[in-house]
Structure 1
């Protein structure tokens, strides 16, 4: 196998076909510091031309299915420790400051911004992509991406919402601008820098600067962080790290879940339309997708396991850090020699049952929180109260299964607030309160679904079969589960409402205490997990209402 390299002769330059910048746009670039006498600005180039540029200049390769294979260099994932938010008057009182959102002074941002533009001015060609974040015209923002790699321009062409010709001609001044000079390092001796990588957001200037990383996902998640700020603060709408789908009757479901919980798989229901797989806004009018594309993991991908993603990898799609056979150009999705975090980025309309436009002017009927509990004590499904929904949303629990290489034999818990801690900009309780208010106003049901272990913890029990999880979702969507008879699970500890029966699901599976053969071991794991919740939630105790705090697991009530 080989990674991308330049295996092609130079292709003819067809640069005349890209969308020219108008007079006012040229002035904007000149005022920003770009040397307009030297650089060539290539705006919203056609996909085929971006392919040619990436192949000719960056060593990209066309895969056997027609996707463009690119390599992101040293960084093959996000750099959360290098993310900074500028501390300035317009936003400082809103931001959730701390290890997730690290302060950066305005002067250092100016230094890094100038450094990025200086680097871009050394390039002959600068790629510009103008697009939208948010499918609802009432709330969408105009985003301009300025970068030095065709790969990055094509990536954002896929991930943002692509404007029509008329929208592009009337685009005007962007609401937010990304300066991506990722090939050039930050000066690690500059105040506030801890490495040669820096990803900075300035809400006052409406700008983002990237230095020292070519990983394309930084742009995607940077805009998500921007929306996580603007939607609640400017528009009063709730931004969410979730997937969403819609049934034939118009009902909408939101899915929350961390990596490995099945969020992508379960929301891609062939009987329902996919609104989106990762980033949404719950507005006063309904639900809309923030993005115009999908950024899916590729490791272990096969046509049998995930046919929709597999078949979306075609002309126009990007394969990132995926190795390939140098003779056939066949990607090797099982090869993690570059990174486990291999990815593909494709327009959402490549998914057969995608809802285009990605918006539903209907309020959600169900909020579904997914967890993969490797301790095997959480029920396959629980109905949550409003306070429990807030608690579990803030906690954001799942668990990682033991690895074989390092000899770890116990599962490890993961708590990521709002099911997306790295992208949260405001205090978690602000999002949780908005979620509870919206659920209450539209009488939306909240569910906690465990796709993890049953009958014992990892190594003893078994993973809950996918067919049973799908049957539970079917019962949620047809309304029968909301009408079921419920009983209390783990009274005094978790106090969860679990159904006594679900169509096509074995009754002994619904109550974990009955699925375990060793009752003493079950009680021990139950209390252990409750203690982990309490420890993880301790930092939020003074930020939430008492009723929300009481709704969480406890070892004291047992």
Structure 2
């Protein structure tokens, strides 16, 4: 019998000689190749495939229903309860399973770039490439920080371990379970590395508000004058693409905290979608995919090892993970002042929302709580084409607390710092999905630039008769007709039908927010 089978505690796993701690990137790459976990591409990036699961598995995510969190968690479809007894049993099984492995990989680092608010974490992995992913995605410690590092939360990742749902209380062979009491995230049955990243974000979304810090699913950058912009939106709406602006410095591409001193990146890396990636449209992301980066489920030519970013054979949700300093114009550390501009990104599959509109404070709160977008193909298991959805605060899958907690914090900060808010549609124009076309990226960039530079402040606006949004009549670099969605449709009557259909969905969705003020409720669609 393998003597490692007797290893049953986390501390034993972490401290044993065959658990490799904070290996350098070249060694992790070598380990991954030796273990046949991936291959090198022509640029030196490591390509790995994730098998059955090529996106998040939200139906398999749970929070342990411990007494200490029972009253504060927003229990429901997103935050499904898991019994403490089942967690303890499953936790022991996973540790026993990992104990049979000849070698494991440990990363110690931080979630949060601001030293005052960061969370010391450790990630223990069955796969070397998953540990490389963790190394690139989280904040990496220097030698002094590593020597004094004391983890306050641990991610235990065992993709090769599958449960029996009938015995273990899960929905399938896959599980992502957070125990706030034991400070453990347990992941198994899925090789999709994104579960590691998003589980830590969920943890921060619980811990940061306790400290009076707004946790946000957004990207952020800063201009030469110190002006900060936030970009909210679900996966695939353009957060990474639009925040990677050659004329602005990147703070982070996905997850941030907003404290009394300003904003800070929760992560130390970027996790960009790569489907249809091109050097011409997204040069910063293209150039970041080099040695040390991880490519997930990207098709590679067997002979040349050149990546084919147009090939969606495995999934539409192809990804690249790389450290934030792979982007040339970043701010280090990833900390900046208070935002001047907030942009809500939505990929409207109905094709009826304006490409850009100015929001009042009440409209900003309405659309933040609504979080309307379309789930894009591949971002979740079973999603193969865009689906209209409402994701509260543009990040409902990762919010353990009631949505109004985050919304009220945002509203106070908008008032306190006089922030300008815009709604930008990166989705469809000229018709709904299947009829119209995706919004021209160059137009979107021009609109975002105009918003950030204050060029839309004094521009005349018209009020959309259905949604009540204030649409600029002119924007530099964008044809005026494009700004008015109805004018881009060949069939105006069909536009009216679809606009009213979407408005009805907004209104039906917002009925669940009974506690908000009438001013916010009335800031929604007029029809």
Structure 2 CA distance for aligned equivalents of residues 516 and 61 of structure 1 = 46
Structure 1 CA distance for aligned equivalents of residues 329 and 81 of structure 2 = 42
Tell me if structure 2 keeps the 8 A contact 1:370–1:451: yes
**Of 100, 117, 124, which aligns to 2:78?**
100
For residues 212-255 of structure 1, give each alpha carbon's deviation from its aligned partner in whole angstroms, at most 9, with x where no partner exists. Answer: 1222111100000001111112x111111111111111101101
Do the aligned partners of residues 168 and 247 (structure 1) sit closer, same or farther apart at CA in structure 2, a change above 3 Å counting? same
Structure 1 CA distance for aligned equivalents of residues 260 and 152 of structure 2 = 22
Tell me if structure 2 keeps the 8 A contact 1:38–1:121: no
Structure 2 CA distance for aligned equivalents of residues 304 and 224 of structure 1 = 31
**Of 516, 533, 553, which aligns to 2:506?**
533
Do the aligned partners of residues 402 and 163 (structure 1) sit closer, same or farther apart at CA in structure 2, a change above 3 Å counting? closer
Could you tell me how far 1:265 is from its partner in structure 2?
2.0
Matched residue of 2:299: which SS? Answer: coil
Structure 1 CA distance for aligned equivalents of residues 438 and 11 of structure 2 = 56
- Tell me the equivalent position of 2:514: 542
Tell me if structure 1 keeps the 8 A contact 2:19–2:103: yes
Do the aligned partners of residues 297 and 232 (structure 1) sit closer, same or farther apart at CA in structure 2, a change above 3 Å counting? same
For residues 298-343 of structure 1, give each alpha carbon's deviation from its aligned partner in whole angstroms, at most 9, with x where no partner exists. Answer: 2232323322222211111112223323333223333333333222
- Tell me the equivalent position of 2:475: 502
- Tell me the equivalent position of 1:471: 446
- Tell me the equivalent position of 2:196: 219
- Tell me the equivalent position of 2:157: 180
Q: Does 1:196 align with 2:173?
A: yes
Structure 2 CA distance for aligned equivalents of residues 526 and 340 of structure 1 = 28
Do the aligned partners of residues 377 and 131 (structure 1) sit closer, same or farther apart at CA in structure 2, a change above 3 Å counting? same
Gaps of 5+ in 1: 1-28, 404-409
Q: Does 1:208 align with 2:217?
A: no
Q: Does 1:388 align with 2:366?
A: no
Do the aligned partners of residues 66 and 512 (structure 1) sit closer, same or farther apart at CA in structure 2, a change above 3 Å counting? closer
Tell me if structure 2 keeps the 8 A contact 1:395–1:415: yes
Could you tell me how far 1:548 is from its partner in structure 2?
1.6
Could you tell me how far 1:380 is from its partner in structure 2?
2.3
**Of 273, 288, 312, which aligns to 1:312?**
288
**Of 39, 45, 56, which aligns to 1:61?**
39
Matched residue of 1:84: which SS? Answer: strand
Q: Does 1:551 align with 2:527?
A: no
Could you tell me how far 1:458 is from its partner in structure 2?
4.6
Structure 1 CA distance for aligned equivalents of residues 153 and 386 of structure 2 = 41
Structure 1 CA distance for aligned equivalents of residues 238 and 99 of structure 2 = 44
- Tell me the equivalent position of 1:397: 372
- Tell me the equivalent position of 1:323: 299
Matched residue of 1:128: which SS? Answer: strand
Structure 2 CA distance for aligned equivalents of residues 163 and 231 of structure 1 = 20
Could you tell me how far 1:376 is from its partner in structure 2?
3.1
Q: Which segment drifts farther, 410-419 or 83-92?
A: 410-419
For residues 28-84 of structure 1, give each alpha carbon's deviation from its aligned partner in whole angstroms, at most 9, with x where no partner exists. Answer: x98636368976221101111112211122342222211112232332222111111
Matched residue of 2:12: which SS? Answer: coil
Do the aligned partners of residues 127 and 477 (structure 1) sit closer, same or farther apart at CA in structure 2, a change above 3 Å counting? same
Structure 2 CA distance for aligned equivalents of residues 449 and 36 of structure 1 = 46
Do the aligned partners of residues 544 and 148 (structure 1) sit closer, same or farther apart at CA in structure 2, a change above 3 Å counting? same
Tell me if structure 2 keeps the 8 A contact 1:39–1:121: no
Do the aligned partners of residues 545 and 325 (structure 1) sit closer, same or farther apart at CA in structure 2, a change above 3 Å counting? same
Structure 1 CA distance for aligned equivalents of residues 481 and 13 of structure 2 = 70
Gaps of 5+ in 2: 1-6, 379-384
Tell me if structure 2 keeps the 8 A contact 1:132–1:140: yes
- Tell me the equivalent position of 2:4: none
Do the aligned partners of residues 129 and 52 (structure 1) sit closer, same or farther apart at CA in structure 2, a change above 3 Å counting? same
| Aligned structure 1 segments of 4 or more residues deviating by more than 6 angstroms | 35-38, 400-403
Tell me if structure 1 keeps the 8 A contact 2:14–2:106: no
Tell me if structure 1 keeps the 8 A contact 2:222–2:248: yes
Do the aligned partners of residues 520 and 442 (structure 1) sit closer, same or farther apart at CA in structure 2, a change above 3 Å counting? same
Could you tell me how far 1:440 is from its partner in structure 2?
0.6
Q: Does 1:125 align with 2:98?
A: no
Structure with greater Cα Rg: 1
Do the aligned partners of residues 412 and 46 (structure 1) sit closer, same or farther apart at CA in structure 2, a change above 3 Å counting? closer
- Tell me the equivalent position of 1:232: 209
Could you tell me how far 1:433 is from its partner in structure 2?
1.0
Matched residue of 1:152: which SS? Answer: helix
Tell me if structure 2 keeps the 8 A contact 1:534–1:554: no
Alignment of 1:270-285 (within 5 A): 270-285=246-261
**Of 345, 351, 357, which aligns to 1:376?**
351
**Of 302, 325, 334, which aligns to 1:358?**
334
Could you tell me how far 1:256 is from its partner in structure 2?
1.2
